Amino acid sequence: MELKVFRDVLPAAGADCTAKAELPLETELLISDYLPPVQRIVKCFAKPVVLQKQLAPGRLTLEGYLRCTVYYQGEEGAELCQTEQKLPFTKALELPSFAATAWTACVEGQTEYLNCRAVNPRRMYSLIMIFVYSKVMDYVSTIFNQRKMVLIISTQHAAIREDILTHLHRGATLLSGSGGFTGEQRPVLLTVVQNYQIRLLEELIFRHDKQAFVIIENTLNVLGKGFSCVKEYK
């Protein structure tokens, strides 16, 4: 069998930028006919949901909706009622100009201000201020910088730890834990591996213990031996 090796040149990675924008919204929320009328508003929440991201030179356009949820009391002594409405939005964020071939954008929203009051028993007025944060990164850099943080709870933690050190050549840390239901002391094994190592790690874990409890989390930045070098700040 002949093995063919293909080579390609990847652009230099590592560029990123962060943008922040205000998303003010003033709207009316109508109570459906099948719900009781509003007597007293108890609590209201607003959460942005981004459905589409469009990246262009110098601009990131977001499309989505605000999920506005209101808990209110219909009658004195009655149980809480809930109403929810989706308020569509489109927001453009200005970005600095920098060159790259492929990008990925991470978007988060944070509620800065939210005021909701009843205008009448079937209508509420809401004033919402959301801050939208976006981090745009070179897609190439995210591929090679992404790691997996793994937490392992198993009765065979000693054998699993030995295999991680021997076969994956990765470090492992034993944390002290206890069962929430039984109260029994149970060591928790913590390790960080490369993306391509996760399948082998799963195989060696369940080879030792088919009842093991495993939590796998994405982590982007790992500093220390075997991963990225520690930065020097002057």
- Over the stretch 139-183, which tens digit does the pLDDT of each residue have? 444 445 568 899 999 999 999 999 999 988 888 999 988 888 888
Mean pLDDT of 25-35: 84
Domain spans in the chain, listed from the N-terminal domain onward: 16-142, 146-219
- CA distance linking residue 12 with residue 97, whole number of Å: 16
Higher pLDDT, 128 or 226: 128
Q: Are 78 and 71 in contact (CB under 8 A)?
A: no
What is the fold of 146-219? Alpha-Beta Plaits (3.30.70)
106-135 per-position pLDDT tens digit? 777 778 888 888 888 888 888 888 777 676
Closest CA to 150 of 103, 185, 189, 205: 189
Specify the pairing of strand 103-120 against strand 123-138.
antiparallel
Identity of the amino acid at 153: I
| Residues contacting residue 102 through CB under 8 Å, at least 6 positions apart | 138, 139, 140
* pTM (predicted TM-score): 0.48
Higher pLDDT, 76 or 36: 36
Closest CA to 189 of 217, 222, 214, 219: 214
